[in-house]
């Protein structure tokens, strides 16, 4: 075994009996390889723990663990990535969910792939994060980070919202729409893709803006440089909300200023040898698949 990974922490999808079983099997496999196994605290509370593993907070994992194995779907990976963004340890995703762009190790191959990673056979990839904040009357009232996207969207009433877009301090336009997706290259295959945004290779260093159902067909997706700073100024009294990876939520007010920029922090992912981003796209988006005839 490669001595790089002595302590491996497990993070699982909460409230899932299937994941609980998979976590137990993975813990047993890791122990058979001579690895010290930790279990993230919220995961342990959700799935139960038999006392054979060390229960650790995200901070303790970030400071002392050597590797994190995330077992769940992309949402579970987003949670772990955001919690561990301030640390340098790598993450491996085992897909227990549905789509799995980020959790690219299949359940069927998890022992083979994790075993190879423990032996030092893997590909390392760095993914960028966004950081966002809402300023109100010169005071920061909300902040968050995101691996996929920051989204400004309309509130529960369902009426369009209005806002100004500024990039690097320059006024770009005012828009009435359902909102705006501000995405990393990683997030370009998430909400941004469903809103007809472009697919960006994760090694690209940039930010993409994708309007949500704009009141005007000339508002198109816009790709920006990695150092760009995006500001959205909320106009009018209609309620709008800010989401970070769909997991944090803040309700804005008229005059609020939402800023987004690329974070100085990032996330390190480990992939099995032979991993191909384009192969993932082919599989998940069903490229080259013949239509079913009826």
Average pLDDT over residues 259-284: 94
Q: Which residue has the higher pLDDT, 100 or 207?
A: 207
DSSP 188: G
Same domain flag for 71 and 180: no
Q: Within 13 Å and on the Cβ side, how many CA atoms surround 108?
A: 0
Dig out the tokens for 243 from the structure: 């989401």
**Cβ proximity of 43 and 10 under 8 Å:** yes
Which pLDDT band holds residue 294 (cuts at 50, 70, 90)? low
First to last CA, the chain: 52
Same domain flag for 136 and 111: no
DSSP conformation letters of 9-37: EEEE-TT-HHHHHHHHHHHHHHHHTT-EE
Identify the H or E element spanning 267: strand 257-272
Q: Which residue has the higher pLDDT, 292 or 57?
A: 57
Q: Which of 294, 287, 233, 240 is nearest to 259 (CA)?
A: 233
Say what the pLDDT of residue 91 is. Answer: 97
Q: What is the mean pLDDT of the chain?
A: 92
pLDDT tens, 56-67?
999 999 999 999
Percent of the chain with pLDDT over 90: 79
Q: Is residue 289 part of a domain?
A: no
pLDDT over 60 at 107, yes or no: yes
Same domain flag for 57 and 135: no
Say what the pLDDT of residue 293 is. Answer: 61
pLDDT tens, 179-214?
999 999 999 999 999 999 999 999 998 999 999 999
Q: Is residue 291 part of a domain?
A: no
Give the chain's domain count.
2
Q: Is 2 a catalytic residue?
A: no
Helices 110-118, 17-32: axis angle to 10 degrees equals 40
Say what the pLDDT of residue 16 is. Answer: 67
40/9 Cα distance (integer angstroms): 7
Same domain flag for 155 and 179: yes
Domain at 83, CATH number = 3.40.50.10330
One of 74, 104, 149, 178 is an active-site residue; which one? 74
Domain at 251, CATH number = 2.60.200.30
Q: Is residue 269 part of a domain?
A: no
**Cβ proximity of 244 and 100 under 8 Å:** no
Q: What is the pTM (predicted TM-score) of this model? A: 0.91
Cα–Cα distances in angstroms (integers) from residue 255 to residues 8, 138, 232, 234, in the given order? 46, 11, 10, 5
pLDDT tens, 13-29?
876 667 888 999 999 99
pLDDT tens, 30-66?
999 999 999 999 999 888 776 678 999 999 999 999 9
Say what the pLDDT of residue 51 is. Answer: 65
Who contacts 79 (Cβ-Cβ below 8 Å, separation ≥6)?
A: 11, 247
The residue range of the domain holding 52 is: 7-120
């Amino acid at each position: 075994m490669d001595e790089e990974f002595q302590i491996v922490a497990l993070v699982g999808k909460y409230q899932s009996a299937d994941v609980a079983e998979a976590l137990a099997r993975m813990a047993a496999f890791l122990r058979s390889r001579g690895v010290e196994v930790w279990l993230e605290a919220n995961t342990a509370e959700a799935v139960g723990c038999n006392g054979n593993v060390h229960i650790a907070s995200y901070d303790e994992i970030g400071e002392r663990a050597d590797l994190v194995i995330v077992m769940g779907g992309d949402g579970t990976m987003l949670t772990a990535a955001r919690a561990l963004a301030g640390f340098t340890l790598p993450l491996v995703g085992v897909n227990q969910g549905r789509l799995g762009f980020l959790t690219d190790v299949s359940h069927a191959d998890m022992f083979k792939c994790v075993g190879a990673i423990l032996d030092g056979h893997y590909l390392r990839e760095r993914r960028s994060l966004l950081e966002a904040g809402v300023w109100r009357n010169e005071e920061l009232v909300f902040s968050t980070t995101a691996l996929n996207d920051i989204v400004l969207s309309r509130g529960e009433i369902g009426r369009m919202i209005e806002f100004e877009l500024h990039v690097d301090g320059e006024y770009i336009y005012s828009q009435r729409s359902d909102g705006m997706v501000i995405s990393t290259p990683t997030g370009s295959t998430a909400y941004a893709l469903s809103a007809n945004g472009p697919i960006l290779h994760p090694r690209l260093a940039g930010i993409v803006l994708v309007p949500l159902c704009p009141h005007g067909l000339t508002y198109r997706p816009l790709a920006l440089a990695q150092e760009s700073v995006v500001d959205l100024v909320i106009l009018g009294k209609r309620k709008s909300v800010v989401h970070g990876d769909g997991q944090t939520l803040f309700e804005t007010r008229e005059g609020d200023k939402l800023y987004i920029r690329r974070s100085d922090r990032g996330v390190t992912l480990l992939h099995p040898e032979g991993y191909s981003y384009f192969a993932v796209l082919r599989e998940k988006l069903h490229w080259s698949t013949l239509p079913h005839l009826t």
